[in-house]
Amino acid sequence: MPVSFENRERTLVACLSGDIDHHSAALLRESIDRMAESALPETLILDFGGVSFMDSSGIGLIMGRFKLMQSMNGAVRVEHASPYLKKLMGLAGLSLLPITIS
């Protein structure tokens, strides 16, 4: 599975791996949303440490989870993104949103 979860006190960590493209993004969205709606975290951490490639579907994945967490009065953090992925996220305007990217 391209995502595994850690549920810490009021924080849900989604550890992503492999490529995020239009084929994998739908499965990731469904899995993350299901876990978030069940756990009701204050913070959702998307751990990109295992992601080797991402296209615009990955940007959509982050934006959608941001909107989900906003509806739950929560926050999103992106962690362990490679320099390439950080640049892609910046070019897409994610740095303009209240999303922490590290």
pLDDT at 8 over 60: yes
Q: Work out the mean pLDDT of the chain and round it to a whole number.
A: 95
Q: What would the pLDDT profile of 54-98 be if each residue is shown by its tens digit?
A: 999 999 999 999 999 999 999 999 999 999 999 999 999 998 999
d(CA 64, CA 39) in angstroms, rounded, equals 17
Q: Return the CATH number of 3-101, one of 3.30.750.24, 3.30.1390.20, 3.30.930.10, 3.10.20.30.
A: 3.30.750.24
Residues 40-67: what's their mean pLDDT? 97
pLDDT at 1 over 60: no
User: Given phi > 0 = left and psi -120 to 50 = alpha, else beta, which region is 97?
Assistant: beta
Specify the pLDDT at position 2.
Answer: 85
d(CA 10, CA 22) in angstroms, rounded, equals 30
d(CA 72, CA 66) in angstroms, rounded, equals 10
d(CA 16, CA 48) in angstroms, rounded, equals 6
CB of 1 closer than 8 Å to CB of 34? no
d(CA 98, CA 95) in angstroms, rounded, equals 7
pTM over 0.85, yes/no: yes
